[in-house]
Structure 1
């Protein structure tokens, strides 16, 4: 209703304006200009509040960024950013060979490791007989299984809490377990009771369904007592019904072992298919995890290569019907491969100790904390790995904190000081009147330059190579000193930054968070802004009504004047030639 009424008034006023003389229109405009002055002041105040609110919001963001960077320097913080790292260097390689690459985690022990007598792991590879053509029909019809058997199967020994193994259909969205030996490890947790997990031959925990059906996991989970657990990936585990009979067991000590054979991919071959078509079908097929077989053509021979390397991982292939594999010269009448390269494990000596693994890459369990990748040219070669402490992460965390401190202090300086303008006058900073913010700036500068009581040998930042200039800007003034102390006296440096972080976090914490000063100021400004908006709306409504009244008032005056003018004209027309003194 109000909208319709307002539109009606606007329409009436528009008609009045078109009919009203410009003298009256200008008079009304002058009057409204005077009456709008309080509105202009109120609008200006609203804009000032919005600007002030934006300034406080920017300051809050800077404070929170600085606070997060400060927390990262405290060793008790979950996201501690100054963790001591490790750098790894490969040297003394044979000739110009790459030999290997390596990466180091923080847990790697600094030291030198001599890697020698390297033998690379190889995949199982089989070859067909040479075909006459690769792009003409083979005239073969049939099918064969690749990367597994015709049906999945399992055999093994029970133990721990496991009573039996079985097979089941693979759940939609999951990949079948690869052909391998799997151990069901069990343990009794003080909080979770009896738990289990499934581990492969390499000691890696494999992903299976959760017992509660909520997803998948490779972590320990509660044993479903007396029930059949379906991994969702082809293997089922039946647990015993009496927990009193359960025993803790690991892969190398008493765990139940399941020798699982995955179902292979069924490859169909038609009479018109060429060798190229067969290769395409093999490479596009879906396989169990780790059982993928890749196909290629070399010198008109079909070459099949197993995905996994290592002597325990053999390529599986068998004819289903039509004898396609036998016709291609891959297998004999009994299903044995005719031409093959047997798989081998990788081996090397590490500081004289012989180790073997099934693969060449991602070798993370040879030297604790190191992941090693053997290069293709590593066969028979040697190299030296040198692991050293790395302080780059700690220095970066300190630089990040100092950068955010400087950015915050620059912002505070610009907002709390009075700046001289080009005309000689001074402009008051947006936060110059906020004593809490002015005090915060001085307190932050004081804490950076003052002594910090802590349990270590250093009491001030300048003792570790960090200084403040006259404008309160902080920087690493002696990088070599800082890095040297991080290496040689890390615990003392850590103690200094732990206490500084605690002090700064306490100071900043009064301003941040839901109950902090910035939040209370923001709420107060929101209330002021809402009040100003309401007053502006009310004043706009009153002024609109006032303007309409003026147009109505002067419209009536104009109408009266027009009537009087008309009457005068009528009078003159009637009596203009009459002389009353005659």
Structure 2
């Protein structure tokens, strides 16, 4: 219990608070020191992200594909082409084109005239609509289903079995089921030709198509339909296609009688056969088409798409002899006639696509170096370098405002958000001024640009020779400028030498290409920054600023304990004073009382 000025009349709370403000001033220095360390760490990490991005871009600039992009033009839209970076500059004349066709097969008329086969409805339920009645009857196989006990969760007069397309006569071997109601077994006879209204108490109506059992009266909650066996109808069919190697690709499909034409199409389309199947119920037509044009079947094969099973061959009526297409492409390239199994094929790193038949005309395909893409890649690299050194120069040359310290919580309270933002902008300024890691890193990057490539085999061994030089304005801080005309001319004149200038892989720095040098230099700077400021994967113990933060936290914790002890001492002293004053007041009252009584 703390006595707060009852005897003295003083505001002890305010006095202790004011005393503690003075005592807390060193604590504010600790918290400001911690905030400055965190800001400095974050500044390092922001720059490290830029350095990492530039290092990754430098890796891309060491790859041949960056400088070997190809530009392909075609004089006729009926033939198109693309070229890989390894393709030689060349010209191809394409003529006498016959495009490859994809094999397809279709059938119609397998539904009885006047009937409509609903594509989303089960086939067994619609079996009477097919013209091939015998084949439809013969294609079905029966499979025995073991139905587990069914516990009635809520009172109902209907339940659904696991399967539809059921043979009612097969249920339990005798066409009966047993239901335990309130601990008493009751036997129901399964019927399929009685209406729900005419059911008796001992009958249950079965919808063979859906497997739904309907009772005359509701079955009570907690009752159990005892498990039984029954047969349901299923069917199978198969298909065979051929891949580009001429190898047979087989797949067999097994479906329940509840499967619809939509289910059949979906199974075929999702298979490994490489075909597309669809069914149009309006025209009663089913079509199967290979996704890839060309002919791939073996010598002994009868068709590109082969069918097996009564459903496809006898019920639907697909026949290999009706197959259309499945022909190879024929084309003349630079006077040489060749046959291809696809409309897309590659020659010497150039991929041609035959779009239409072409007779009596030709297409000229020209493959050349894509100067624009190489130019854009180098220009982008220089621009990213300029952005990087601009950001680092800004950080290392910022003014230091020593009078602007991080704000304490008490100092923030009377300020607006804008004022806080403006204050902290100055408080954060100059945290990395003249930082040794960053200044030495920038110096190394600049020297990499100036150093010529030792052992160059091409026409160029310095960036200045291809139009890249350092800005003459010292205020730019070593930024690079590009003479775009000169750079384009260099790429056109000797693109291999330009590539070597960036990508050469020598034993030492002088014989390495610029992109390799920069990547290594940036990597060294990144490691030094991580040793000082860490990254998201490191704990505070693993980098310098982190350890300094831990030390500040420890000092804050220790000082906080001292403040608590001092505050407790102040309260003890003021409490003792209050008690002494209270005793003095009581004694005065007693003396006054005695004087008054004796008077």
TM-score w.r.t. the length of structure 2 is 0.63
Moved more, 378-387 or 56-65: 378-387
Kindly indicate whether residue 81 of structure 2 is the aligned counterpart of residue 67 of structure 1: no
| Structure 1: tracts of 5 or more residues without a match | 1-11, 146-175, 182-199, 203-258
CA distance in 2: counterparts of 1:144 and 1:396, whole angstroms? 66
Shift of 1:440: 3.3
| Deviation (angstroms), 1:454 | 5.0
Q: Tell me which of 96, 118, 130 is aligned to 1:138.
A: 130
Give, in whole Å, the separation in 2 of the partners of 1:407 and 1:89: 36
Among candidates 530, 533, 544, match of residue 524 of structure 1: 544
> Matched residues in 2 for 1:281 and 1:180: separation?
21
Equivalent of 2:288 in 304, 310, 330: 304
Structure 2 residue 529 is the aligned partner of structure 1 residue 500? no
What is the alpha-carbon distance in structure 2 between the residues aligned to residue 41 and residue 426 of structure 1?
14
Shift of residue 300, structure 1, vs aligned partner: 4.4
Question: In structure 1, the residue corresponding to 2:526 is in which secondary structure?
Answer: coil
Q: Tell me how far apart the structure 1 counterparts of residues 533 and 490 of structure 2 sit (CA, whole Å).
A: 42
The 8 Å contact of residues 107 and 317 in structure 2, kept in 1 or not, is answered as: yes
Q: Deviations along 1:292-313, whole A, 9 cap, x unmatched?
A: 3523448544333334432334
SS in 2 for 1:310: coil
Deviations 1:470-499 (A, max 9, x none): 203645522232233223212332333243
**1:107 maps to which residue?**
86
Tell me, what secondary structure is at the counterpart of 2:441? helix
The answer to whether the Cα contact below 8 Å between 2:241 and 2:248 also exists between their aligned partners in 1 is yes
Q: How far off is 1:29 after superposition?
A: 1.8
Contact 1:73–1:501 (8 Å) recurs in 2 = yes
Q: Distance in 1 between matches of 2:572 and 2:279?
A: 94
Match of 1:458 among 457, 460, 481: 460
Which residue of the partner structure matches residue 485 of structure 2? 480
Partner of residue 364, structure 1:
345
With over 3 angstroms needed to count, the CA separation of the structure-2 counterparts of 1:39 and 1:309, relative to structure 1, is: same
Q: Does 1:440 align with 2:441?
A: yes
Residue 191 of structure 1: aligned partner: none
Match of 1:511 in 2: 525
Corresponding position of 2:157: none
Contact 1:445/1:472 (8 A) holds in 2: no
Please give the secondary structure, in 1, of the residue aligned with 2:11.
Answer: helix
Deviations along 1:133-163, whole A, 9 cap, x unmatched? 5724325425879xxxxxxxxxxxxxxxxxx
Q: Deviation at 1:392?
A: 4.4
Check the 8 A contact 1:16/1:552 in 2, yes or no: no
Measured at CA, do residues 106 and 278 of structure 1 come closer, stay the same or move farther in structure 2, by a change above 3 Å?
Answer: same
3-state DSSP class of the match of 1:576?
Answer: helix
Q: Structure 2: which 5+ residue stretches go unaligned?
A: 118-128, 141-237, 298-302, 402-421, 505-512, 535-542
- For 2:469, the equivalent position in structure 1 comes to 467
Residue 538 of structure 1 corresponds to: 558
Q: 2:386 aligns with which of 403, 406, 410?
A: 406
Q: Find the partner of 2:396 among 416, 428, 442.
A: 416
Structure 1 residues 287, 567: closer, same or farther in 2, change over 3 A?
Answer: closer
Q: Which residue number in structure 2 is paired with residue 253 of structure 1? A: none
- SS for the counterpart of 1:512 is helix
| Residue aligning to 1:88 | 72
For residues 234-278 of structure 1, the C-alpha deviation after alignment (integer angstroms, 9 at most, x for no partner) is xxxxxxxxxxxxxxxxxxxxxxxxx646244457889xx9xxx54
Higher Rg of the two aligned structures: 2
Alignment of 1:350 onto 2:394 = no
> How much does 1:383 deviate?
2.4
SS in 2 for 1:123: coil
SS at match of 1:128: strand
CA distance, structure 2, for counterparts of residue 301 and residue 562 of structure 1: 109
Distance 1:544 1:69 in 2: 55
Tell me what 2:120 maps to.
none
Q: Distance in 1 between matches of 2:139 and 2:358?
A: 35
On the 8 A contact 1:71/1:80 being kept in 2, the answer is: no
**Secondary structure, counterpart of 2:345 in structure 1:** coil
| Correspondence for 2:264 among 271, 276, 281 | 281
- Once the two structures are overlaid, the 10-residue window that deviates more, 19-28 or 41-50, is 19-28
Cα RMSD between the aligned structures? 3.8
Which SS does the other structure have where 1:458 is aligned? coil
Q: Which has the higher helix share?
A: 2
Give the drift of 1:572.
1.0
Flag the 1:267–1:307 CA change in 2: closer, same or farther, 3 A.
Answer: farther
In structure 2, relative to structure 1, the CA distance for the partners of 1:437 and 1:89 (3 Å cut) is same
How far, CA to CA, are the matches of 2:44 and 2:306 in structure 1? Answer: 71
Q: Residue 229 of structure 1 corresponds to which residue in structure 2?
A: none
CA gap of 1:144–1:445, structure 2 versus 1, over 3 A, is farther
SS in 2 for 1:114: strand
Give the secondary structure class of the aligned counterpart of 1:289: coil
| Residue 280 of structure 1, CA deviation | 5.5
Give, in whole Å, the separation in 1 of the partners of 2:69 and 2:385: 25
1:36-435 equivalences under 5 Å are: 36-74=24-62, 79=63, 82-91=66-75, 93=76, 98-130=77-109, 132=113, 135-136=116-117, 137-138=129-130, 140=133, 141=136, 179-180=241-242, 201=245, 260=248, 262-265=250-253, 278=261, 281-285=264-268, 289-297=272-280, 299-313=283-297, 314-318=303-307, 320-321=309-310, 325-326=313-314, 328=316, 330-331=318-319, 337=321, 339-360=322-343, 363-365=344-346, 367-375=347-355, 377-378=356-357, 380=359, 382-419=362-399, 429-435=430-436
CA distance in 2, matches of 1:143, 1:531: 86
Once the two structures are TM-superposed, the CA of residue 288 in structure 1 deviates from its matched residue by 5.4
Q: What is the TM-score of this pair, normalised by structure 1?
A: 0.65
Cα pair distance change 1:554/1:329, threshold 3 Å:
closer
C-alpha distance 55-16 of structure 1, shift in aligned 2 (>3 A): farther
- Give secondary structure in 2 for the equivalent of 1:311: coil
**What displacement does 1:452 show?**
5.2
Tell me how far 1:345 sits from its aligned partner: 0.9
The 1:39/1:488 distance shift into structure 2, 3 A limit, reads same
